Chain A
């Protein structure tokens, strides 16, 4: 089965993690080494989120059953 482009990347998890990182950093109670590692992790996750936001699906797909009841997925151009 074909998966979406963003498969494997969970937007929600990434966003929650970024928020945790920001809050942890803002608490100030953190070693410099750890702060730098978190900063790196945070910026990388945000870059992935930005990429996901800029992702654009061009067409919609159609799911149907064939005569034998087997599922079939294909691109469907719609009048928009």
Chain B
């Protein structure tokens, strides 16, 4: 049984005592360890566990402190935190209320960079095959950067010089510090939702590795990877390589260079158009010349001239025929004339009255039949002899056949 004098505490009272004891006796301390189980809560508070080879301690970094972070710690990262030991009463757990957090040296950032790079490369986020070509003549470019940085001024300046008609749409974001990566990722998603830009430029001007860290965070890398719109990364200076550069479709060494890469030079395009105009005109002139030449050649061609020749030939032939016809006709007529003369002569010769005039006479028998041979007669036959003028009756006295 318990002693009557003994005080019985509630759990809450015990916890309150522990809390008071711990918080009063342990001064604000610097602690180094490896981050694990890091959770970024929507409230802006960060929860993680800090561990070494033997043990671990729960840590919380409230938003008011977390928002001053330059680099968001990652699991596996060695960090040095400054904080106060407190007790989270509801869970009865002691924890470190972190005021400040530093990455334990640049080597840690490099390691974190390599870890994420290896992980994302393993997932294929950097594959060349998935990188898309940029549109040659974008009409509208979405820009994800700070509204006050050098990057936006450089991009505007170069873009206006190269292609004055370009539409530029800025989604203003914080490019460094706590929450920057989340804003960048959201801006990329917002442009994809908006859908009316042809490409995105995501970046910022130069700075330390911590300043550029938002572009080395997984959330930024994934947003670039998930973008349906091609992305040009433009982070820092030429020498700075970030995870965003590996995921982007094209890496530009600087924001100015991004505008150069994204846009054609209007003057070059104008020169090309002029060249096309000259060539088009020359081609038409040369085509017209070609047709003219062909017409001229046709006019002088054997074919066309042959036609003229054919006409002349026909004409000549006609003349020749006409000539020949005349001749023939004349010859024919002459021939006929001759024949008629001959015939009329013959006719004249054959006229018995003509013969009679030359002293011949015709003897006919009693029946009027012409006697051509003496043997047709016998002595005593009566004949009639016809003369040129008149006739006489004759008697045959002797036949001499």
| A25 pairs with B283, CB closer than 8 A | yes
9-residue interface stretch from B163-171, B214-222, B319-327, B383-391:
B163-171
Given the interface pairs A56-B165, A71-B193, the reply to whether A62 lies near B170 with Cβ below 8 Å is: yes
List residues of B (126-150) whose CB comes within 8 Å of A's CBs: 135-137, 139-140, 142, 147
List residues of B (283-326) whose CB comes within 8 Å of A's CBs: 283-284, 286-288, 290-291
Q: Once bound together, how far apart are the Cα atoms of A43 and B386, in whole Å?
A: 118
Partner of B287, one of A30, A52, A71, A76: A30
List residues of A (50-69) whose CB comes within 8 Å of B's CBs: 50, 52-57, 60-65
Interface 1/0 per residue, A3-38 and B, CB below 8 Å: 111110011100100110110011010101001100
What is the total of A-B residue contacts with beta carbons within 8 Å?
A: 123
Q: Once bound together, how far apart are the Cα atoms of A42 and B160, in whole Å?
A: 27
B4 to chain A, nearest CB (A): 62
| A25 pairs with B284, CB closer than 8 A | yes
* List of A residues within 8 angstroms of B147 by Cβ: 62, 76, 78
| A22 pairs with B139, CB closer than 8 A | no
Given the interface pairs A39-B280, A57-B166, A80-B153, the reply to whether A71 lies near B269 with Cβ below 8 Å is: no
B275 to chain A, nearest CB (A): 9
* List of B residues within 8 angstroms of A78 by Cβ: 147, 152-153, 156, 170
| B269 pairs with A53, CB closer than 8 A | yes
| B165 pairs with A55, CB closer than 8 A | yes
| B196 pairs with A1, CB closer than 8 A | yes
* List of A residues within 8 angstroms of B280 by Cβ: 18, 21-22, 25, 39, 42-43, 46
Nearest residue in A to B270 (C-beta to C-beta)? A53
B180 to chain A, nearest CB (A): 16
* List of A residues within 8 angstroms of B167 by Cβ: 4, 57, 61
Q: Once bound together, how far apart are the Cα atoms of A39 and B186, in whole Å?
A: 48
Given the interface pairs A57-B165, A80-B157, the reply to whether A35 lies near B135 with Cβ below 8 Å is: no
Q: Once bound together, how far apart are the Cα atoms of A54 and B157, in whole Å?
A: 17
* List of A residues within 8 angstroms of B165 by Cβ: 4-6, 52-57
* List of B residues within 8 angstroms of A11 by Cβ: 137, 139
| A60 pairs with B156, CB closer than 8 A | yes
Partner of A22, one of B152, B156, B276: B276
* List of A residues within 8 angstroms of B172 by Cβ: 62, 64
- Whether a CB of chain A sits under 8 angstroms from the CB of B190 is yes
Q: Once bound together, how far apart are the Cα atoms of A22 and B270, in whole Å?
A: 16
Partner of A63, one of B135, B171, B270, B272: B171
| B279 pairs with A63, CB closer than 8 A | no
| A61 pairs with B194, CB closer than 8 A | no
* List of B residues within 8 angstroms of A35 by Cβ: 283-284, 287
Q: Once bound together, how far apart are the Cα atoms of A80 and B142, in whole Å?
A: 18
| A63 pairs with B137, CB closer than 8 A | no
Q: Once bound together, how far apart are the Cα atoms of A76 and B172, in whole Å?
A: 11
Q: Once bound together, how far apart are the Cα atoms of A30 and B291, in whole Å?
A: 11
Partner of A61, one of B169, B277, B287: B169
| B169 pairs with A32, CB closer than 8 A | no
* List of B residues within 8 angstroms of A1 by Cβ: 194, 196
A18 to chain B, nearest CB (A): 5
| A39 pairs with B284, CB closer than 8 A | yes
| B156 pairs with A80, CB closer than 8 A | yes
| A63 pairs with B157, CB closer than 8 A | no
| A28 pairs with B286, CB closer than 8 A | yes
Q: Once bound together, how far apart are the Cα atoms of A11 and B167, in whole Å?
A: 14
Nearest residue in B to A26 (C-beta to C-beta)? B283
| A57 pairs with B196, CB closer than 8 A | no
Residues of A within 8 A of B (CB): 1, 3-7, 10-12, 15, 18-19, 21-22, 25-26, 28, 30, 32, 35-36, 39, 42-43, 46, 49-50, 52-57, 60-65, 71, 73, 76, 78-80
25 residue pairs of the A-B complex, CB under 8 angstroms, read: A6-B165, A19-B276, A22-B279, A25-B279, A26-B283, A28-B290, A32-B288, A42-B276, A42-B280, A46-B277, A54-B164, A55-B164, A57-B160, A57-B166, A57-B168, A60-B169, A61-B168, A63-B169, A63-B170, A63-B171, A63-B190, A73-B194, A78-B170, A79-B153, A80-B156
List the 7 closest pairs (A to B, CB-CB), nearest first: A55-B165, A25-B283, A11-B137, A60-B168, A56-B164, A61-B169, A12-B137
List 5 extra interface pairs beyond A50-B270, A53-B165, A71-B190, CB under 8 A. A39-B284, A53-B270, A60-B168, A62-B147, A62-B171
